[in-house]
Chain A
Amino acid sequence: MNKKTLYLIYIFSALLSLIIIETIYLSSEKSMSSALVEKKMAFVELVGLPDLAISTEATFVRHRSLSDIFSIYKDDGTLREYFPSTYAISHSHIINPVVIKRDNEK
């Protein structure tokens, strides 16, 4: 086997082992342990509000699951809506949930 093929094999092995090491490191350090999940669940149960605090710039992004049509469509200078995070995070689609038929009532 010639030098070049050997180098190639070394490089590929190095890269693959890098990924494997990264994966092992990350799953032990950065993945969600059950203790962590418990804490998060306890918090959410306490507060009762959905959605993450990653972006707080607009109400229909911050608590998007609970937001109304008004907050999606209105303009307000101080609350600064319509900005970058809405490029990634879409507003909730449950603004008008299914209308309940009431023909067997009243």
Chain B
Amino acid sequence: MKSKINIYLIEYAINAILRQKSKSFFIVFVFTLLIFLLTSVFFITNSIRYELDSTVDTLPQIIVQKIKAGRHYDIDVDAVDNIIEIAGVSDAVARVWGYYYFENAGVNFSVVGIEQYEKQYKNSFEKIADKFDLSDTESNPSMVVGHGVKKTMHQSYYKEYFNFIKPDGTLKKVNIAGVFDADTQLESNDIIVTSKEIAREIFDIDEAKATDIVVKVANPKEIPMIVSKIKSIYPDSRIITSQDLKVSYQNIFDYKSGIFLALFIVSLFTFFIIIYDKSSGLSSEEKREIGILKAIGWRVDDVLKEKFYESFIISFFAYILGVGLSFAYVYIFGAPILQNIFVGYSQLKTSFELPFIFDAQTLFLVFFLSVPIYVAATIIPSWKVATLEADEVIR
């Protein structure tokens, strides 16, 4: 006995698999499909999380919202002055942003108003937009839009400019000054960035009001304390810290939510069917075969080893095939059909080009959920038969 791997046993196992071609094919097919589905969903959710985590540190440290009757309400701009006076606060800025519903296309745009002459914004813009020129809002109101926005507007024949319908019914024409880089699509697809004045005009928000207030803090460790101080000044406020955002990002795919529940139920169901079929006992043919092997001198261990090879070959093959297909499906083809669960009915679709991360944890998880269970389901009934008296089985 040279090497530990018994080639003759493996050959016998392969022959056994080929002996039941259609059954083996069916099992491989179902398994591959299951693993394909599982890993695809895991890959998509992992990539989305990864994408979120890559930018989480640039989000505002403290966001102050006013809540009235459970609803997010406009906050007084005066609050900025009060907040800036709190010790530890380095800056507070009132923001104007909201959703503009473009009825023609049935689409929601997110409109964000910024102070266009802040130096930091100029540098940022250079990195992320093709061309821009937000100067001179009075005579030349303009905006920089995301890829999806440009496309939607284009489809409604708005090529160089767009007419917003103000709350009072009149139109506000705004020129499209630039488009955000396609690489930022996952974040910028539906966003319109314009000056605060134009945003105020579009939403009819008073100069004294703002959507929310963003607070910058010199020492991040002091955030909780500053939060409690703001809360004491403005008891009706809701304060979201960067820590809350991080937690919120982690909760995005709630394991109690629909998709994971459905996925696990489908997996369990499929498994249950296959394993029930396997463990409800072998067919009389299979029993006889084990009896013959025992009669010609195979021990129980030898029989089990052979069954192990058989089931491992099938399940491992299905696993590798499923994972390989899943990689291509999610990252090369953008997960057609499956992406619709995540995109929903949104009319503004992004390219769904997710960043690739190699997640060994997911791969191991799926492996251990599938291969060992199938192997066990095959070996256990074989073991039961193999330990019977060979004589009983043959006759």
Query: Which A positions have Cβ atoms within 8 angstroms of B?
Result: 1-2, 4-5, 8, 11-12, 15-16, 18-19, 22-23, 26-27, 29-32, 36-59, 61-71, 78-80, 83-90, 92-94, 96-97, 100, 102, 105-106
Contact B103 A78 (CB under 8 A): yes
Contact B244 A31 (CB under 8 A): no
Closest chain-B Cβ to A9's Cβ sits at a distance in Å of: 9
Contact A49 B327 (CB under 8 A): no
Contact B184 A40 (CB under 8 A): yes
Task: Specify which chain B residues have a CB less than 8 angstroms from the CB of A92 in the assembled complex.
Answer: 248, 251
Contact B357 A31 (CB under 8 A): yes
Stretch at the interface among B75-83, B294-302, B347-355: B347-355
Excluding A43-B184, A78-B103, A93-B251, 9 further A-B contacts by CB distance (< 8 Å) are: A18-B324, A43-B188, A48-B214, A54-B48, A65-B240, A68-B67, A78-B101, A84-B340, A97-B244
Determine whether B177 belongs to the interface, using a CB cutoff of 8 Å to chain A.
no
9 A-B contacts (beta carbon < 8 Å): A18-B324, A22-B328, A39-B128, A40-B187, A53-B350, A69-B70, A79-B101, A83-B344, A89-B252
Determine whether B390 belongs to the interface, using a CB cutoff of 8 Å to chain A.
no
- Cβ-defined partner of B7 (8 Å) among A5, A37, A86: A5
Question: Would A94 and B190 be within 8 Å (CB), given that A4-B15, A26-B327, A46-B114 are in contact?
Answer: no
Contact A53 B124 (CB under 8 A): no
A43→B182 CA distance, assembly (Å): 12
Determine whether B110 belongs to the interface, using a CB cutoff of 8 Å to chain A.
yes
A92→B248 CA distance, assembly (Å): 6
Contact B327 A56 (CB under 8 A): no
Closest chain-B Cβ to A106's Cβ sits at a distance in Å of: 8
Contact A19 B259 (CB under 8 A): no
Contact B48 A93 (CB under 8 A): no
Contact B128 A63 (CB under 8 A): no
Task: Specify which chain B residues have a CB less than 8 angstroms from the CB of A100 in the assembled complex.
Answer: 227-228, 231-232
Task: Specify which chain A residues have a CB less than 8 angstroms from the CB of B324 in the assembled complex.
Answer: 15, 18-19, 22
Determine whether B209 belongs to the interface, using a CB cutoff of 8 Å to chain A.
no
Determine whether B380 belongs to the interface, using a CB cutoff of 8 Å to chain A.
no
Task: Specify which chain B residues have a CB less than 8 angstroms from the CB of A16 in the assembled complex.
Answer: 320
Stretch at the interface among B58-66, B195-203, B273-281: B58-66
Question: Would A2 and B355 be within 8 Å (CB), given that A43-B184, A70-B70 are in contact?
Answer: no
Question: Would A54 and B186 be within 8 Å (CB), given that A30-B355, A39-B128, A94-B244 are in contact?
Answer: yes
Contact-residue bracket for chain B: 35 or more
Task: Specify which chain B residues have a CB less than 8 angstroms from the CB of A27 in the assembled complex.
Answer: 356, 358
A37→B183 CA distance, assembly (Å): 9
Contact A4 B344 (CB under 8 A): no
Closest chain-B Cβ to A29's Cβ sits at a distance in Å of: 8
Task: Specify which chain B residues have a CB less than 8 angstroms from the CB of A51 in the assembled complex.
Answer: 52
Task: Specify which chain A residues have a CB less than 8 angstroms from the CB of B55 in the assembled complex.
Answer: 37, 40-41, 43-44
Task: Specify which chain A residues have a CB less than 8 angstroms from the CB of B352 in the assembled complex.
Answer: 54
Contact B253 A43 (CB under 8 A): no
Determine whether B11 belongs to the interface, using a CB cutoff of 8 Å to chain A.
yes
A83→B50 CA distance, assembly (Å): 24
Contact B95 A46 (CB under 8 A): no
- Cβ-defined partner of A52 (8 Å) among B52, B99, B127, B214: B52
Task: Specify which chain B residues have a CB less than 8 angstroms from the CB of A66 in the assembled complex.
Answer: 63, 65, 72, 212, 240
Task: Specify which chain B residues have a CB less than 8 angstroms from the CB of A26 in the assembled complex.
Answer: 327, 331-332, 356
Residues in B325-362 with C-beta less than 8 Å from chain A: 327-328, 331-332, 340-348, 350, 352-358
Task: Specify which chain B residues have a CB less than 8 angstroms from the CB of A56 in the assembled complex.
Answer: 107-108, 110, 189-190, 346-348
Task: Specify which chain A residues have a CB less than 8 angstroms from the CB of B125 in the assembled complex.
Answer: 46
- Chain B minimum-CB-distance residue to A68: B72
Task: Specify which chain B residues have a CB less than 8 angstroms from the CB of A52 in the assembled complex.
Answer: 48, 51-52, 186-187
Closest chain-B Cβ to A19's Cβ sits at a distance in Å of: 5
- Cβ-defined partner of B317 (8 Å) among A12, A19, A65, A90: A12
- Chain A minimum-CB-distance residue to B148: A53
- Chain B minimum-CB-distance residue to A25: B332
A67→B67 CA distance, assembly (Å): 11
Contact A90 B112 (CB under 8 A): no
- Cβ-defined partner of A54 (8 Å) among B114, B184, B239, B342: B342
